[in-house]
Structures are given as C-alpha cells and as structure tokens.
Amino acid sequence: MFTGIVTDVGRLVAADDRNDGRLLRIATKYEPEGIDLGASITVDGICLTVTEKGRADSSNWFEAFAALETLSVTEVGKWTVGRRINLERSLKIGDELGGHIVSGHIDGMATIVGKDVTGDQIKFTLEVSPEISMFIAKKGSVALNGTSLTVNDVDGNRFSVHLIPYTVEVTSWGDYGVGDRVNIEVDPMARYAARMFEALAERKAG
C-alpha cells in the first residue's frame, strides 16, 4: 500500500525486453541495504517487485520486472533510458498517510490536453476514457504517475489538477507536456462506492 507521496525521482538506466515482459533497472537515492528483495516500490505509480539491487559507480539501483499485463495497460514498453521516474516505497506501520490510499494498480492512461504554467506552478488538464471518468469527482483524489493529486474541475471526460512549486520540484512532472500520457489510478473509495450502487441496483432489479 502507498500514499501517492513521491519520495524519490529515479532514472531508468537499462531496460531488457523479454518475451514475457520487460526488466527495468532504475537508479535511485534509496540505499540498497534498506531495500529487501521482494519489496514493493511504485514506479510512476505502478506497483513493482524488487528482484535485484546494488550499487555501481557511486549510484544505487534496483531492478523490477514489468509483466505483459503491465505493458498492456501502461506505456512502460516505450520508456527509454534516461527517463525520470517517480518512486515511492511501500507504507510501514506508523508511517504518516500524507496523500490518499494508493494500491499501485493502474486503471489506465490519461492524456495531457492542456498545460498552463504560472510562475513555478502548473495546471494540467487531462482526458480519460468514459470508463475511468465516472470515478473522478471534483475535489476528489487521483493518483497520476504515482503522485496523489486533488481534482480541481471535471468536464465530461476531462479534469484538471494543480501542482504547487514543491510538487513540481520533487517529482518528474516538469518533464511533461501536451500529448504525453500518464498512468492513472482512481481513488479506491470511488470504486467501492460505484460497486455499492451497482449492487443496490442489481438487488432492486432482482
């Protein structure tokens, strides 16, 4: 489980394409001694399992494998070496819940259709499929590339988020522009609420 509070911006240093997925090596400030093999880390919001770790040329790194299912619902297969990546370690008992509950299970992709920069602040407008937009509400929470953000406005399949200077500084969001696609995970509470209403409707129909 995660909170959507990015704790490091890593960098893709190697990618090995295989017939069953893609192996990623990511440089990070996380100390390898503090990472257990099998631990979960969100990589641009995707919960991946650490399979190897180490240090080379004064740089820490870990490896994680993106399976075919992950490649089918994200753009991990298109990532190139040098890409900056938002990272977050999994929660421990007693950790502060600074964002919102995030599982690291991606619902789909959101396309950036607008970027308005005011000083060091950025407002992004994004578009999603109807299947995802039904879970997005004004003032609700959404995880975009692993970052917990508050929805400003919703207009059909489009919604906007506002990034304060601190968020821009400590994440990779400054790298993105119109046309880029990002991973989206809706608030789990929205999913549960939708399922509850669906179950009530089924009961009434029955």
Q: Can 40 be counted among the known catalytic residues?
A: yes
The catalytically annotated residue of 49, 194, 197, 199 is 49
Which own/partner contact pairs does 33-41 have at CB distance under 8 Å and 24+ positions apart?
35/62, 39/89, 39/90, 40/90, 40/104, 41/87, 41/88, 41/89, 41/90
Q: Can 47 be counted among the known catalytic residues?
A: yes
Distance CA 206, CA 202 (A): 6
The catalytically annotated residue of 2, 62, 124, 135 is 2
The catalytically annotated residue of 7, 39, 40, 137 is 40
Q: Can 49 be counted among the known catalytic residues?
A: yes
Q: Can 111 be counted among the known catalytic residues?
A: no
DSSP assignment of 114-136: EEEEETTEEEEEEE--HHHHTT-
The catalytically annotated residue of 150, 193, 194, 199 is 150
- Burial letters 119-131, b for 16+ CB under 10 A, else e: eeebebbbbbeee
Rounded to the nearest 5 degrees, what angle is found at the Cα of 192, between the Cα atoms of 140 and 141?
Answer: 15
The catalytically annotated residue of 39, 67, 137, 190 is 67
The catalytically annotated residue of 15, 27, 47, 64 is 47
Q: Can 150 be counted among the known catalytic residues?
A: yes
Residues in CB range of 23: below 8 A, 6 or more apart: 15, 16, 51, 63, 64, 65, 66
Active site residues: 2, 40, 47, 49, 67, 105, 150
